[in-house]
């Protein structure tokens, strides 16, 4: 694994002039951020050695380097989900590579179903913690060069970055919620009983991504900021049929405020 990470990072360094300070995983709601990146240098995942090979046609993904405001960034357009059949080492490999490229912060976005009755569809939720219900990406041999065997998770989501987000959101007049993200494998959405269960165990929202990448970022000692768009509600009395299309539609509608929030946050780092 170590050789693969180094090989991939060396390849990227040989092709790309930008030295990224910030890694961004462009999930639902941040797709539009790509258009704000200046002086872009782009690598297709398919051309990057050791990157997972996409099975879905037309969704290969790209790694985009460039300047977002005053910061150099590396942005993943397209992430790898466990439910697609990738193993957890593949899902999180890009985070290992971004660490090798020396990023100082990781920003992540996603879509999720709200189980907190105070939430509304279209809300942005800053992750203050998570509950992991997926296989842990750190299972198996631990490489001390990458991080510790028994990882502390008392501050999975950087309090400093959350404070910056709160300040920025207030300045921009963007309403934000805070909450605990329950990470499940998917690909099924939840039954009403599962939504209720996730609320009872302390969740505010549930989704199918983010947690593996966050665990590996923390293993790599990278501070993380993650934000979710509540695209549907798993709240008793408000549960309606969910579809991928609906999730995408609500996600797209929240894109402008999410993009502005992140862009302005970077200026404060
Ligand atoms: N459940 C799980 N994942 C999701 C949901 C949901 O309701 N909405 C968007 N991603």
pLDDT tens-digit series, residues 215-246: 999 999 999 999 999 999 999 888 888 888 88
Q: What is the pLDDT, as a whole number, of residue 54?
A: 67
- Tell me which residue has its CA closest to atom 6 in ligand 1: 113
pLDDT attached to residue 267: 94
Q: Whose CA is nearest to atom 3 of ligand 1?
A: 207
242 Cα–ligand 1 center, Å: 8
Which atom of ligand 1 is found nearest the CA of 184? 2
Which residue has tokens 């198996």? 140
Q: Which domain CATH number covers 264? A: 3.40.50.1580
Q: Return the exposure string of 231-262: e unless at least 16 CB atoms fall within 10 Å of the residue's CB, then b.
A: bbbbbeeebeeeeeeebeebbeebbebbbbbb
Q: Which atom of ligand 1 has the smallest separation from the CA of 190?
A: 1
Ligand 1 binding pocket mutation candidate from 28, 79, 109, 113 (most atoms within 8 A of CB): 113
What's the confidence (pLDDT) of residue 33? Answer: 87
pLDDT at residue number 247: 80
**What pLDDT is attached to residue 142?**
97
Number of domains the chain contains: 1
pLDDT at residue 56, as a whole number: 57
Give the structural domain span for 201: 2-268
Distance (Å) from CA 138 to ligand 1 centroid: 24
Residues (pLDDT < 70) of the chain are 54-60
Q: Which protein residue has the closest C-alpha to ligand 1 atom 9?
A: 112
Supply the residue whose CA is at minimum distance from atom 7 of ligand 1: 113
Residue 243, by phi and psi: left (phi above 0), alpha (psi -120 to 50) or beta? beta
Could you tell me the distance, in angstroms and rounded to a whole number, from the CA of residue 10 to the centre of ligand 1? 36
- In this structure, how many other beta carbons lie within 10 angstroms of the beta carbon of residue 33? 23
Q: What is the pLDDT of residue 194?
A: 97
Rounded to an integer, what distance in angstroms lies between the CA atom of residue 183 and that of residue 189?
12
Q: How far is the CA of 206 from the centre of ligand 1 (A)?
A: 6
Which atom of ligand 1 lies closest to the CA of 113? 7
Q: In this structure, what DSSP letter does residue 150 have? A: S
pLDDT score of 60: 62
What residues does ligand 1 touch, defined as CB less than 6 Å away?
Answer: 111-113, 189-190, 206-208, 231-232, 234, 242, 247
Pairing of strands 105-114, 205-207: antiparallel
Q: Cβ–Cβ contacts within 10 Å for residue 188, how many? A: 10
Q: How far is the CA of 178 from the centre of ligand 1 (A)?
A: 17
Helix (H) or strand (E) holding 89: helix 88-100
**Could you tell me the distance, in angstroms and rounded to a whole number, from the CA of residue 114 to the centre of ligand 1?**
8
Distance 195 CA to ligand 1 centre (A): 10
Crossing angle of helices 88-100 and 2-15, rounded to 10°: 50
């Amino acid at each position: 694994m170590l050789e693969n990470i180094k090989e991939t990072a060396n390849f990227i360094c040989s092709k790309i002039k930008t030295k990224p300070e910030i890694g961004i995983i462009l999930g639902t709601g941040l797709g539009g951020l790509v258009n704000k990146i200046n002086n872009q240098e782009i690598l297709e995942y398919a051309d990057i050695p050791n990157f997972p090979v996409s099975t879905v046609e037309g969704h290969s993904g790209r790694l985009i380097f460039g300047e977002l405001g005053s910061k150099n960034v590396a942005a993943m357009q397209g992430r790898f989900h466990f439910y697609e059949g990738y193993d957890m080492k593949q899902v999180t490999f890009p985070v290992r590579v971004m660490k090798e490229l020396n990023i100082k912060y990781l920003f992540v976005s996603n879509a999720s179903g709200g189980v907190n009755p105070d939430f509304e569809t279209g809300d942005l939720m800053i992750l203050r913690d998570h509950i992991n219900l997926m296989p842990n990406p750190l299972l198996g041999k631990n490489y001390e060069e990458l991080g510790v065997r028994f990882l502390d998770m008392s501050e999975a989501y950087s309090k400093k970055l959350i404070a910056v987000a709160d300040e920025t959101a207030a300045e921009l007049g963007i309403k934000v919620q805070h909450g605990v993200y329950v990470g499940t494998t998917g690909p099924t959405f939840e039954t009403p009983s599962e939504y209720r269960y996730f609320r009872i165990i302390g969740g505010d929202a549930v989704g199918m991504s983010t947690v593996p990448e966050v665990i590996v970022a923390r293993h790599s000692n990278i501070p993380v900021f993650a934000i979710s768009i509540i695209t549907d509600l798993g709240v008793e009395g408000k549960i309606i049929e969910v579809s991928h299309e609906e999730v995408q539609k609500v996600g797209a509608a929240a894109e402008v405020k999410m993009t502005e929030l992140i862009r302005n946050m970077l200026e404060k780092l």
